[in-house]
Amino acid sequence: STPLIKADNLTVGYNIGKSLLSKQVLKAVNGVSLEIEKGSFFGLVGESGSGKTTLGRALLKAAPITGGGAFYDDGEVRYDLTSLQGAQLKDYRKRAQLIFQDPYAALSPRMTVRDIIAEPLEVMGLTKTRAETDERVREIAAKCRLNLEHLRRFPHAFSGGQRQRISIARALVSGPQFVVADESVAALDVSIQADVLNLLKQIQRDMGLTFLFISHDLSVVAHTCDHVAVMYLGRLVETAPTRKLFEAPRHPYTKALFSAIPSLDPDDRGRAQKLTGEIPSPTNQPSGCKFHTRCPHAIDLCKSQEPTLEHVGDQHEVSCHRWRELIEVPA
Ligand code: SF4
């Protein structure tokens, strides 16, 4: 199948120098290449500071692309996101949407649920009459398991899970093909997380959408996504079909993320080793492999030379000098 989204050496840099003379550029996303297949549920994992949110925004044309390229192709239109503007950019806003990470902050307390969901339709001019708007709102609300009674109320009357469903309905009402869900369940209780995840999966399947699901939590991603990409300090360090990544993680960072997940298997518990140390500041990045300051397997080469992504299996890529030697090493 064809990719709906393609990033090619994509870089997002911010100028953080105080004057023109001290031009310091912070590369939040640094040379990322990936393809998101149409109709897939694609996971993007990393700690805060990894650049995952910035990458998601760049793919929505909501963060400045300063290097490389990004493309959208849904079979009907093909857009080069780096040069997208005017009427095409407006059209892209319908086709690509963000589900906010914090439904509490995202919803206006003074608007009814109906008005919150309807707003994008009105702003984008997608419906001509109030009756048409209402029809679209009711349709998407039903898909998100909200009923007519809910639509008349204000968001404060709802629980966290219900508010998240309102956010989802609002993001989907314009009929997007591509949806970025950024930490969409992180603010919710664990018991409600599964509910919202199941709803997202069901909607994605029913409507044939393509999702980029961003999370710091590998266990959440593992249960939801078809394909996973792992980011560290602006770089992609490993990408693979989810099952492959689970069975045979190759990057020491991915292995460390896995071993930080509490295991149910008592034989595994002894092996569990938590990731130590903090992710370095993006403004002061280590030389060579960005992970060498925390990697238990770092050698001199890692400090001087940055590894590049290599094919290690079908659709499986990893960026580590030593992945072959470390195949049998857990973390
Ligand atoms: Fe660790 Fe070296 Fe591999 Fe980086 S390249 S992950 S420092 S072994």
Query: What is the whole-number distance in angstroms between the Cα of residue 65 and the centre of ligand 1?
Result: 28
Q: Are residues 38 and 72 located together in one domain of the fold?
A: yes
Domain total in the chain:
2
CATH of the domain at 62: 3.40.50.300
Query: What is the whole-number distance in angstroms between the Cα of residue 289 and the centre of ligand 1?
Result: 6
Domain finish residue from 180, 210, 232: 232
Q: Is the CB of 252 under 6 A from ligand 1?
A: yes
Q: What pLDDT, on a 0 to 100 scale, did the predictor assign at position 102? A: 67
Who's near 124: CB < 8 A, 6+ residues apart? Answer: 90, 93, 94, 174
Contact 12, 29 (CB under 8 A): yes
Q: What pLDDT, on a 0 to 100 scale, did the predictor assign at position 156? A: 86
Q: Are residues 169 and 62 located together in one domain of the fold?
A: yes
Q: Is the CB of 292 under 6 A from ligand 1?
A: yes
Q: Is the CB of 294 under 6 A from ligand 1?
A: no
Domain finish residue from 214, 232, 250: 232
Kindly give the parts of the chain with pLDDT less than 70. 1, 18-22, 101-104, 261-274
Give, as one character, the DSSP assignment of residue 156.
G
Q: Are residues 195 and 61 located together in one domain of the fold?
A: yes
Sole residue written with tokens 């890692």 = 302
Q: Are residues 226 and 254 located together in one domain of the fold?
A: no
Q: Are residues 200 and 60 located together in one domain of the fold?
A: yes
Q: Are residues 218 and 251 located together in one domain of the fold?
A: no
Contact 256, 46 (CB under 8 A): no
Q: Are residues 176 and 202 located together in one domain of the fold?
A: yes
- Give the three-class secondary structure for 128: coil
Q: Is the CB of 185 under 6 A from ligand 1?
A: no
Q: Hey, how many other C-beta atoms are within 10 angstroms of the C-beta on 261?
A: 13
Q: What pLDDT, on a 0 to 100 scale, did the predictor assign at position 186? A: 76
Domain finish residue from 184, 214, 232: 232
Structural domain for 225, as ranges: 3-232
Q: What pLDDT, on a 0 to 100 scale, did the predictor assign at position 16? A: 78
Q: Are residues 191 and 327 located together in one domain of the fold?
A: no
**CA 281/CA 192 separation, integer angstroms:** 33
Q: Are residues 146 and 20 located together in one domain of the fold?
A: yes
Q: Is the CB of 41 under 6 A from ligand 1?
A: no
Q: Are residues 59 and 179 located together in one domain of the fold?
A: yes
Q: Does the interface predicted TM-score (ipTM) exceed 0.95?
A: yes
Q: What pLDDT, on a 0 to 100 scale, did the predictor assign at position 269? A: 46
Q: Is the CB of 322 under 6 A from ligand 1?
A: yes
Who's near 88: CB < 8 A, 6+ residues apart? Answer: 77, 79
Q: Are residues 227 and 241 located together in one domain of the fold?
A: no
Q: Are residues 38 and 74 located together in one domain of the fold?
A: yes
The alpha carbons of the chain give a radius of gyration, in whole angstroms, of 21
